[in-house]
Amino acid sequence: MYGAAGAPAQNALVPVVRSLRRPPPQATGVSFMNNQKQQKPTLSGQRFKTRKRDEKERFDPTQFQDCIIQGLTETGTDLEAVAKFLDASGAKLDYRRYAETLFDILVAGGMLAPGGTLADDMMRTDVCVFAAQEDLETMQAFAQVFNKLIRRYKYLEKGIMYFVEKKKIGNKLAMLTGVLLANGTLNASILNSLYNENLVKEGVSAAFAVKLFKSWINEKDINAVAASLRKVSMDNRLMELFPANKQSVEHFTKYFTEAGLKELSEYVRNQQTIGARKELQKELQEQMSRGDPFKDIILYVKEEMKKNNIPEPVVIGIVWSSVMSTVEWNKKEELVAEQAIKHLKQYSPLLAAFTTQGQSELTLLLKIQEYCYDNIHFMKAFQKIVVLFYKAEVLSEEPILKWYKDAHVAKGKSVFLEQMKKFVEWLKNAEEESESETEEGD
C-alpha cells in the first residue's frame, strides 16, 4: 500500500482536500485508515430555502393603481358598488403600503406627481372626488364610501388629509372632510395638517377651513363641533389658520362672518374671552400676592376689561375669586367668620371699584352665596359679609333687596334667607323712613 518513501500508493483513497486548511494527516497507517470512515468535506456549501413570507415584494405603486382603476372602471359611478369593491380589494391589495396611491386615486383620479398635479402618463378614473359635482349631497355620498373604507381599514384614517400637505386643495375635498368629521370617521386632530406654514401664508388653510366648517356645522351644530375640537385641544388653535400678523379676534371674526360662519366667529370670540379671563385671574392673584397697591391693580384690571371687552359683572366675579384664594382659611367655623371679615374689610376698596352697576352688585351677592354654601365653614358668615360690604359701600340697598326677594339661587337658600331676614327688614324700614322724609321736605 505504501511506496518506498512512505507515500500512499496510487490506488489509495483520495486524500483530504488541503484547501480546507486543515492540518494534513500524519503518515501512519493507523490514523490514515481511521480517516477512511470519516465524512468527506464538501466545497459546495449548503443551500437554504427562503420562505415566501420572507421575500420582500418590489414597491410598485403603478401596478397597484392599475388594479384599483380597473376595478373602478367596472363599477362605474355606482358608489355603493365602489364601496364593496374597495372593501373586498383590501384583502388582496396592500392598502397599508400603498395608502398614498389609494387616496390619490379616490380623491384626484390617479397618482399625483410631485407638486400635486396628475401625472400625464398614468391611468386615470372619473370615479373620484375631484371629478364629482360640487354640492353637499354628492360629497355626503362619497363620504359613505370613505366611511366604510376607513372603518374597515382604520390605518387609512390620516390618508385623506395628506392632500392638504401636497397642496392639492379644493372645495370638494374640504366639504368631504367636514362630512367625515361630522360622522366621526375622522378625528379633529387631523386639522393639524392645516397649520402648515406655507399653506397658512398662502391663505389656503383659511379658505379650506371655511368649506370644511360649513359642511361640518351643517351636519351637526356648533356645540358638537366645539366638543370635538376641545377633545383634541384644538379649540384654542383656530387663530393659527392665519399668519401671525393677522391672528386677532377681529380679523378672524370678520373673515368667517363674511364667509357665512357667524356661529364659528362667535365661538372663537367666546374662547378668546375665556382665555383672557383666566389670564386676568392669574395675574390678579400674583399682584395680590406681591402686595401691589390697589390703585395699580385697579388700573390693570380696567385696561384688561377694555382690551378684551370683559363686562364688569364678569370682572367682579374674577376679583371675588382672586380675593378669596389669597388666604388659607381657618378650619374652625367659629373662627373663620372673624378671619373672613378682617380679610374682606381690607379688600373692600378693590371690590368697590368693580360694583358700579346694579348687575355687578347682584353678581357679587350670588358669588358670596355660592361660596358660603360650597365651603361649609362659611355657612354662618354669609350675613356678616353682606353687612360688611353694605357698610363699605361695595353693595347697596336695591340689589340686596332684589336678591332677597327673587334673585337668589337654590344653594343654601333657606339658611341664608333666614340669616338676612332682620337686616332686610331694617333696610326696608330705613328706605320707608327716607321716603317719608323726602315727602315731608317737598
Q: How far is Cα 240 from Cα 344, in angstroms, rounded to an integer?
A: 42
CA separation, residue 305 to residues 268, 288, 323 (Å): 18, 18, 18
Distance of CA 234 to the CA centre of its chain: 3
Q: How far is Cα 342 from Cα 332, in angstroms, rounded to an integer?
A: 16
Which of helix, strand or coil describes residue 8? strand
Could you tell me what percentage of the chain is helix, strand and coil, using 3-state DSSP and rounding each to the nearest 5?
65, 0, 30
Distance, first Cα to last Cα, the chain: 158
In 3D, which of 210, 302, 307, 197 has the Cα closest to residue 256? Answer: 210
CA separation, residue 57 to residues 60, 70, 98 (Å): 9, 22, 13
User: How many other C-beta atoms are found inside a 10 Å radius of the C-beta of residue 45?
Assistant: 5
Phi-psi region of 332 (alpha: psi -120 to 50; beta: other; left: phi over 0): beta
The string of DSSP letters for 269-290 reads HHHHHHHHHHHHHHHHHHHHHH
Which of helix, strand or coil describes residue 113? strand
Q: Which residue has the cell 373602478?
A: 72
In 3D, which of 329, 371, 324 has the Cα closest to residue 346? Answer: 324
In 3D, which of 306, 260, 170, 111 has the Cα closest to residue 298? Answer: 306
Task: Name the residue ranges covered by the structural domains of the chain.
Answer: 61-235, 311-437
- Residue 67's pLDDT is what? 93
Q: How far is Cα 409 from Cα 308, in angstroms, rounded to an integer?
A: 29
Q: How far is Cα 93 from Cα 133, in angstroms, rounded to an integer?
A: 29
Q: How far is Cα 89 from Cα 125, in angstroms, rounded to an integer?
A: 17
Contacts for 59 with CB less than 8 Å, ≥ 6 apart: 97
CATH number of 311-437: 1.25.40.180
Residue-by-residue pLDDT tens, the chain, 442 positions: 444 444 444 444 444 444 444 555 554 444 434 444 555 554 454 444 545 554 566 888 889 999 999 999 999 889 999 999 999 999 899 999 999 889 989 998 988 877 667 767 778 899 999 999 999 999 999 999 999 998 899 888 777 766 666 655 788 989 999 999 999 888 898 888 889 898 899 999 999 999 999 999 999 999 999 999 999 989 889 999 999 999 988 999 999 999 999 999 999 988 888 888 999 999 999 999 999 999 999 999 999 999 888 899 999 999 999 999 988 888 887 788 899 999 999 999 999 999 999 999 999 999 999 999 999 989 999 999 999 999 999 999 999 999 999 999 999 999 999 999 999 999 988 766 655 555 555 5
Instruction: Name the grid cell of 71.
Output: 376595478
Q: How far is Cα 376 from Cα 378, in angstroms, rounded to an integer?
A: 5
Angle in degrees, CA 84, 90, 93, rounded to 5: 130
CA separation, residue 7 to residues 33, 63, 328 (Å): 14, 68, 108
Q: How far is Cα 318 from Cα 332, in angstroms, rounded to an integer?
A: 26
Which of helix, strand or coil describes residue 207? helix
Identify whether the C-beta of residue 231 lies closer than 8 Å to the C-beta of residue 188. Answer: yes
> What's 2's DSSP letter?
B
In 3D, which of 281, 277, 209, 286 has the Cα closest to residue 240? Answer: 209
Among positive and negative, which fits the CA dihedral 390, 391, 396, 400? positive
- Residue 425's pLDDT is what? 93
* 25 CB-side CA count, 13 A: 17
- Residue 145's pLDDT is what? 93
Instruction: Name the grid cell of 124.
Output: 386615470
pTM for this model (two decimals): 0.62
Q: How far is Cα 419 from Cα 425, in angstroms, rounded to an integer?
A: 11
CA separation, residue 245 to residues 200, 208, 239, 271 (Å): 12, 20, 11, 19
Identify whether the C-beta of residue 213 lies closer than 8 Å to the C-beta of residue 178. Answer: yes
